Structure 1
Amino acid sequence: MTGDTNSAVRRASFTIAIYLGLAALALPQARETYAELSGVRLWYKDTGGPGVPVVFLHSNTGSSQNWEHQIPVFTAAGYRFIAYDRRGWGRSMAQPGAQPGTAADDLRALIKFLGIDRFHLIGTAGGGFLVFDYALSFPEQLRTLVVANSIGGVQDEDYLELGRRLRPPQFDALPPELRELGPAYRAADAEGTRRWIELEHMSRQSGATAQAYRNRMTFSVLESIKVPTLLITGDADMYAPPPLLRMFTSRIAGSESLVIPEAGHSAYWEKPEAFNRAVLEFLKKH
């Protein structure tokens, strides 16, 4: 009788092990490689696992490498972290010539490639343009939006004029690190500043063709966004200072906002603890 019992236990243990093994195989695996999509090879990193996916969109002066302060934190919090190099940036490789489709189409193709249903979408600076464009085009796929340090691609003339008045003369001629990193950070962290500059130099591909957006961004269009939205900027952000942030919060119903002290246009990099904490608290509510 004891032999029969032991045999049954072994069979049950073997069966459980098989089921656990199959379940592990079914989970998304961690990888850093290319997604072969129509007209483009997008380089992406995906921590895999069973967590809710969070997709990060880099700035126009960065790439997927710029999220090094976010990957371990969001993974430890149980999320599936995904970042990629947008077409024309980093290691992504597009076919020569005019770029077909839009950045939102590329993201949608990547999401389908990865087998994702719904996800959180986070973008900083130029990546925030794409967050809004995607939310307007495919809102049913999104759990939340986080737009940080971004002018949002809005084309209203009064908004553009206000932005020009708030920025100093010859602003666009300044080196990227002076435009995008606040003085408090540059003074306090020379090594972090050097690392940011290094990543900036590797970001945009020479001769890359800009893609169009699916929507012409205006505040009246943004008013249609119903996805829970968090808007972030830094108090030293010369691109998207707090007065501009308030224009977005007044138009996107139910949106939340945060101004991070002593941060410029790259709050995710300059103040990662404050940035990560605010974003994680927001995601947990949704």
Structure 2
Amino acid sequence: MSDWRPPPPQAPATEGLIDVGACRLWYWDTGGEGEAVVFLHAGSQSGAGWAYQQPVFVEAGFRVIGYSRRGCWRSEAGDRNEPGVAAEDLRCLLDHCGVARAHLVAVALGAFYALDFALLHPKRLRTLTVASSYLGIDSSETAYAQANARLRPPEFEALPVEFKELHPSYRAGKPDGVQAWLALAREARSGPPVVARRPFPMTWERVESIEHPTLLMTGDGDLYAPPALLRMQAKHLAHAEVAIVPEAGHCPNWEQPDAFNRIVLDFLRRQSGRG
């Protein structure tokens, strides 16, 4: 029998569309006087995938904001030949919401753009949480590129998305949760993905220049960013805290939300108000 626990009731939030210049992006915002936490979703998901986090972070005293990138759930795709810079779309969102500085919590592909934002707009960032991401480091970083190639041979992409992203324990023990996650994944995009431009190649030298408080985390069964890859990343972010979520794959915020929330909130509470 599945012991899956559906997401809890959500805290009140306003929803809207923000014009980023070439299209409109869907977002939600709980408002409030607390420091803002902005969630950046994975490539297989959208701004609708944070149901386990939204009410918990609000209860902890934070203003919580989520959004869908171009071409994802409820957001317009715009011209796919002119996909824009995702970090600048995020800046537009913060401006629209009147947020001067935010904590970014980014999973998987979302972390690519969180890194870009940290480098382009360091004064708008409070802390950076990077979960389950191989970061999109430029292929000129040969050793890291080779490690990623060993992790994901060409045949990897042909595998079902739930096999690639969800831990075996979750797939075996929580079939209802798998189906709910797949429903969100199916809704996340209605057409080809919009691949945002990055403002510059992401090298280790650039990563090392990020001085904001940083949390690196992954699931112990993440096929994209397993603990060994996380340790490689941590060598270039020597000040970062590192956490590994047991029995989680590429989506720890969904697979093990209690652990994910506890780790991130502990980090944010210790950093809140600094600077």
Q: TM-score, normalised by structure 1?
A: 0.87
Find the partner of 2:110 among 110, 127, 130: 127
Of the three residues 241, 249, 267, the one matched with 2:234 is 249
The one-letter amino acid of 1:38's match is G
What's the counterpart of residue 279 of structure 1? 264
Consecutive unaligned residues of structure 2, counting only runs of 5 or more, are 1-11
Describe how 1:212-231 pairs up with structure 2 within 5 A: 212-231=197-216
Q: Which residue in the other structure is 1:22 paired with?
A: none
Indicate conservation of the 8 Å contact 1:99/1:210, yes or no. no
- Structure 1 residue 242: deviation in Å? 0.7
Q: Distance in 2 between matches of 1:95 and 1:169?
A: 30
Identical-pair percentage: 47
1: CA distance between counterparts of 2:143 and 2:80? 35
Partner Cα separation in structure 1 for residue 81 and residue 88 of structure 2: 15
Give the corresponding residue for 1:37.
20
CA gap of 1:187–1:201, structure 2 versus 1, over 3 A, is same
CA distance in 2, matches of 1:222, 1:134: 12
**More helix, by proportion:** 1
- 2: CA distance between counterparts of 1:153 and 1:169? 17
Aligned residues: 258
For residue 66 of structure 1, the aligned residue among 49, 58, 64 is 49
SS in 2 for 1:246: helix
What RMSD, in angstroms, separates the aligned Cα atoms of the two structures?
A: 1.4
| Structure (1 or 2) with the larger CA radius of gyration | 1
Assess, with a 3 A threshold, how the Cα gap between structure 1 residues 244 and 74 changes in structure 2: closer, same or farther: same
Indicate which of 266, 272, 275 corresponds to 2:251: 266
Code of the aligned partner of 1:199:
L
Question: Which residue is 1:116 aligned to?
Answer: 99
1:1-286 paired onto structure 2 within 5 Å: 30-99=13-82, 101-155=84-138, 156-167=141-152, 170-286=155-271
SS in structure 2 at match of 1:32: strand
Residue of structure 1 in register with 2:9 after alignment: none
Counterpart of 2:261 in structure 1: which amino acid?
Answer: N
Q: Shift of residue 147 of structure 1?
A: 0.4
- The farther-off stretch of 120-129 and 149-158 is 149-158
**Deviation sequence 1:151-180 (CA, Å, 0-9, x none):** 001122321211121346621110100000
Q: Which moved more, 1:251-260 or 1:270-279?
A: 251-260
